[in-house]
Amino acid sequence: MDSQKIITADMSIPINNHFKIIAGPGAGKTRFLVNHIRNVLHHSNRLGRNKKIACITYTNIGVETIVDRLDEGVDHIEVCTIHSFLFTHVLKPFAFLIKSEHDIRVTKNMKPSEHLVSGYFDRTNLGTRHRLSNKELIQKTFWFIEGDFCKLHVRGKTVDMHADLYRYKKLFWEKGILHYDDVLALSWEILHNHPETLRVIRSKFPYIFVDEFQDTSSIQAEILKLITEKETTLGVIGDSAQSIYSFQGANVEQFNNFLLLDMSVYKMKDNHRSTQEILNLLNKMRTDINQESPEQKKGNKPLLLVGEPFSVANYIRGLINSNDLYTLSYSNIAANSMRDKVEYVANISSLTIESILIDNDSNNNRRKVIASLMKAVEFARQKSYKEAIREVSRHLIDEDSQRQAISIIHGLLSSYSEYSSNPLIEFYEKIKALNIIHLPNFQRRKGAQTPAEHFYRTTKYAELALLIKNQEKVGFDRTIHQAKGGEFENVLVVVKPKPNQNYNESRDLGFLLNPDINNEEHRVYYVAASRAQKNLYFCVPYLSETSVNKIKNICEIEYL
Ligand SMILES: Nc1ncnc2c1ncn2[C@@H]1O[C@H](COP(=O)(O)OP(=O)(O)OP(=O)(O)O)[C@@H](O)[C@H]1O
C-alpha cells in the first residue's frame, strides 16, 4: 500500500490501480470522480464495445448529480445505486442458480406495502415466540454473512432467529417481492457460490467506482471485494464524518478499514464550497481535519435564530431578498412540515401513514383506501402524477381505470382547501360522495362512536399527510438525508427534537454545544451545515444563557 498522497479534484491518478480517496465535504470528491471517469473514457484500453464503467452511489440524488455533471461517454457508464446494479446484473439474470435453495420469483424489485407487512407478521410466530414487534421487524432485521452463509438477524438481539425470520421472508418472496436487503444478500450468495457469475460481471465492468463509500454496509463491501479480486479496478471515495446511514447497516469502521491489495490511498484537503466563516464552524464540529477555503471565500458568520421555524424561514428570505432558501430537517415529518407550513402534533410520530392507520382503524379496506388516496393527493400536489395514479388505480377494477384515476385525483385536488385543514372525516366523506370506490361505513355501538370514527373526527388531514414520503421529488424543504451530496447557496438547518420528544437543548443542539463526530446525530447535522455555500442559518426553539456563551464565537445569535 502507498502512503496517503494529497491530490486535488483536477489531478489525474493512475487509472488501472485500485484507489481510495478520503476527504471532507466540499473537497471536490464528486468533481474528482467525474474528471476521473472522463480520464478513463479517454485513456483506457480496457473499455471495449460492450464494457462499461459502473459508478455506484447510494441515493437517487447522488445518481442525478453525477449524471448531470457528466456530459459525455454516457453509453459507457452505468450510474446507479448498488441495489439497482446488483438487481440488474446479478439477481435477475442469475436467480435460477439459487432456485433450489430459495425458490424466489424475481419479477419485480419493489418495497412491500405496510398492509402486507402487518398481515404477514400476524402469520408468523415472531411476536409470540421472540417478542418481536412488527415495527422492530421492519426496522431492525438485517442479513449478515456467517462463513459461507448469509443469515437473518435482528439488531440488538442475540438469539438465533434465522429460521423464523426466513419463513417470514419467504411469504414475500412467494409473491415476487424483495426487500432492498434481500437483493444484497441473495446477490452475495450467487457471487460467492457461483464464481462463473463473477467472471461475467468482471468482463462487463472493468471499472467500478463508488461515491459516498462511507455509507457502504458490510455485505456491500464483501460483494465489492469478491468482484474486484481480479480484473476489475475499484475506486472508492468518502468521508467518515458524513456516514449517516447506520440504520441501513453502514458503519464508519467499515470505511476506515477498507483496503485492497495494491490499493492507493489519497487525501483531498480544503473545501471549495463554503465561505471561511462557515468552515470555521464546520472545523469546530469535527477536529480530525481543518478545512480552509483555497479561494478565500468570505461571507457572513453563520446565524442562529431563536424562534418558530416558519417565521424564521420567512425572516431569512427577507434578509437574503430571495426565495432561494433550502431548509434542511432531520426527520421526514419535520421537512414536510416546513414544506406545507403545517405544525405537527407530537402524537403523530409513527413512521408511516399506514402504521398510524393500522393503530387507529381496524377496518382493513377503509384504511387501505384512505392511505392510498391521501398518498395520491399528496403525490399529485408535488407533481408526481405517475405515482399518484398508481395509488388510486389499485382500488379500481374498471378497464378504464387510468382515466378514472385521473378524474378522481383532479376532483380531490380541486377541493383540497375544503378538507385539508379539517378532520380526516371530511376527506372520507368526499371520497364516499364520489361513489366510485367502496368505503366501509363506521359502525356505531349503541349510538356511540367507535375508536376509528373518533380518530377520523379528531385527526386533521394535513397533520396526517405530513407522514407521506415522496421519494421522487424533493424541493426547497428537504430532509438532511435527501440533501446529501448537494450544495445550496443559502441553507437553514431546522433544529428540532425527534417527533414525540420534547426539545432538550444539550441533546438536540449538542452538535454545536459539545460536538462529537462519533455521534451519528451530530454527523447528520454536520452534513446539513456543510451543504451551505454562502449563508448558513440554524433555527432553535430556545437558547439558554450558558449556550449563548458557548456558541457566540462561531455563530451570530438573534431572537425573533
Ligand atoms: N479544485 C477545485 N477548484 C474549484 N472548485 C472546486 C474544486 N474542487 C471542487 N470544486 C467545487 O466545490 C464544490 C464542491 O465539490 P464537490 O461537490 O465535488 O465536493 P464533495 O467532496 O463531493 O462534497 P461532499 O462530500 O460535501 O458532497 C463544487 O461546486 C465543485 O465544483
180 and 110 inside one domain: yes
User: Is 29 annotated among the ligand-binding residues?
Assistant: yes
Quote the ligand 1 centre to 117 CA distance (angstroms): 42
Tell me the residue length of the chain.
560
162 and 199 inside one domain: no
Does any domain span residue 92?
A: no
Last residue of a domain, one of 243, 274, 305: 274
How many CB atoms within 10 Å of residue 8?
17
User: Is 206 annotated among the ligand-binding residues?
Assistant: no
Q: Which residues line ligand 1 (CB under 6 A)?
A: 8-10, 23, 25-31, 239, 242, 272-273, 485, 487, 530
| Chain segment 108-166, per-residue pLDDT in tens | 545 444 445 556 666 777 777 777 776 677 777 889 998 888 999 888 888 888 888 88
pTM metric for this prediction: 0.88
Atom 6 of ligand 1: nearest residue by CA position: 272
User: Is 147 annotated among the ligand-binding residues?
Assistant: no
Q: How many CA atoms lie within 13 A of 519 on its CB side?
A: 15
User: Of all atoms in ligand 1, which is nearest to the CA of residue 486?
Assistant: 27
CA distances 556 to 83, 382, 437, 491, Å, are: 43, 35, 55, 15
Atom 1 of ligand 1: nearest residue by CA position: 9
Does any domain span residue 96?
A: no
Q: Is the distance from CB of 263 to CB of 20 less than 8 angstroms?
A: yes
Atom 26 of ligand 1: nearest residue by CA position: 25
Does any domain span residue 392?
A: yes
User: Is 27 annotated among the ligand-binding residues?
Assistant: yes
80 and 200 inside one domain: yes
Does any domain span residue 298?
A: yes
All residues at 6 or more sequence positions from 228 whose CB lies less than 8 Å from its CB, including other chains? 18, 208, 234, 260
The three grid cell numbers given for residue 3, joined into one nine-digit string: 502512503
The CATH number of whichever domain residue 260 belongs to comes to: 3.40.50.300
Tell me which of 211, 273, 487 to substitute to probe ligand 1's pocket, judged by most ligand atoms within 8 Å of the beta carbon.
273
Q: What percent of the chain has pLDDT over 70?
A: 93
Quote the ligand 1 centre to 418 CA distance (angstroms): 46
Predicted local confidence at residue 120, as pLDDT = 67
Q: Helix or strand or coil: residue 538?
A: strand
User: Is 119 annotated among the ligand-binding residues?
Assistant: no
Atom 5 of ligand 1: nearest residue by CA position: 272
Instruction: Return the amino acid letter for 369.
Output: V
All residues at 6 or more sequence positions from 309 whose CB lies less than 8 Å from its CB, including other chains? 327, 337, 338, 494, 496, 539
User: Of all atoms in ligand 1, which is nearest to the CA of residue 33?
Assistant: 18
State the residue range of the domain holding 51: 5-87+193-274
501 and 542 inside one domain: yes
Atom 4 of ligand 1: nearest residue by CA position: 272
| Chain segment 214-259, per-residue pLDDT in tens | 998 889 999 999 999 999 999 999 999 999 988 777 788 888 999 9
User: Of all atoms in ligand 1, which is nearest to the CA of residue 32?
Assistant: 18
362 and 455 inside one domain: yes
Nearest CA to 342 out of 477, 164, 185 is that of 477
pLDDT at 360 over 80: yes
Q: Which residue has the cell 470555521?
A: 280
Tell me which of 31, 71, 482 to substitute to probe ligand 1's pocket, judged by most ligand atoms within 8 Å of the beta carbon.
31
The stretch 427-442 carries a mean pLDDT of 92
Sign of the dihedral through C-alpha 492, 495, 499, 503? negative
Secondary structure of the chain: what % helix, strand, coil (to 5)? 50, 15, 40
User: Is 388 annotated among the ligand-binding residues?
Assistant: no
Last residue of a domain, one of 247, 274, 301: 274
Q: Is the distance from CB of 31 to CB of 49 less than 8 angstroms?
A: no
User: What is the edge-to-edge ordering of all strands in the sheet holding 18-23?
Assistant: 5-7, 263-268, 18-23, 233-238, 207-210, 53-56, 77-80
301 and 183 inside one domain: no
Nearest CA to 150 out of 112, 105, 181 is that of 181
326 and 301 inside one domain: yes
Does any domain span residue 94?
A: no
| Chain segment 303-312, per-residue pLDDT in tens | 999 999 999 9
233 and 177 inside one domain: no
Helices 162-173 & 114-122 angle (0-180, nearest 10): 130
Atom 27 of ligand 1: nearest residue by CA position: 485
Q: What percent of the chain has pLDDT over 90?
A: 60
* Dihedral, CA of residue 236, residue 206, residue 89 and residue 71, to nearest 10: 70
User: Of all atoms in ligand 1, which is nearest to the CA of residue 272?
Assistant: 12
Atom 25 of ligand 1: nearest residue by CA position: 25
User: Is 26 annotated among the ligand-binding residues?
Assistant: yes
Does any domain span residue 449?
A: yes
148 and 246 inside one domain: no
Tell me which of 8, 10, 30, 237 to substitute to probe ligand 1's pocket, judged by most ligand atoms within 8 Å of the beta carbon.
30
The stretch 283-295 carries a mean pLDDT of 95
Q: Name the DSSP class of 111.
A: P
DSSP secondary structure string for all residues of 212-245: SGGG-BHHHHHHHHHHTTTTSEEEEEE-GGG---
62 and 203 inside one domain: yes
Quote the ligand 1 centre to 271 CA distance (angstroms): 7
Tell me which of 272, 289, 534 to substitute to probe ligand 1's pocket, judged by most ligand atoms within 8 Å of the beta carbon.
272
244 and 281 inside one domain: no
Helix (H) or strand (E) holding 91: none
315 and 446 inside one domain: no
Instruction: Return the amino acid letter for 305.
Output: L
Does any domain span residue 62?
A: yes
Q: Are strands 233-238 and 303-306 parallel, antiparallel or unpaired?
A: unpaired
**pLDDT averaged over every residue in the chain:** 89
Last residue of a domain, one of 239, 274, 309: 274
User: Of all atoms in ligand 1, which is nearest to the CA of residue 242?
Assistant: 25
Burial (Cβ within 10 Å: 0-12, 13-18, ≥19) of residue 378: buried
How many CB atoms within 10 Å of residue 416?
16
pLDDT at 515 over 90: yes
Predicted local confidence at residue 359, as pLDDT = 83
Domain tally for the chain? 4
Does any domain span residue 534?
A: yes
Quote the ligand 1 centre to 273 CA distance (angstroms): 6
pLDDT at 497 over 90: no
| Chain segment 161-219, per-residue pLDDT in tens | 888 888 888 888 877 778 888 899 999 999 999 999 999 999 999 999 999 999 988 89
| Chain segment 38-91, per-residue pLDDT in tens | 999 999 999 878 899 999 987 767 777 788 888 776 788 998 889 889 999 999
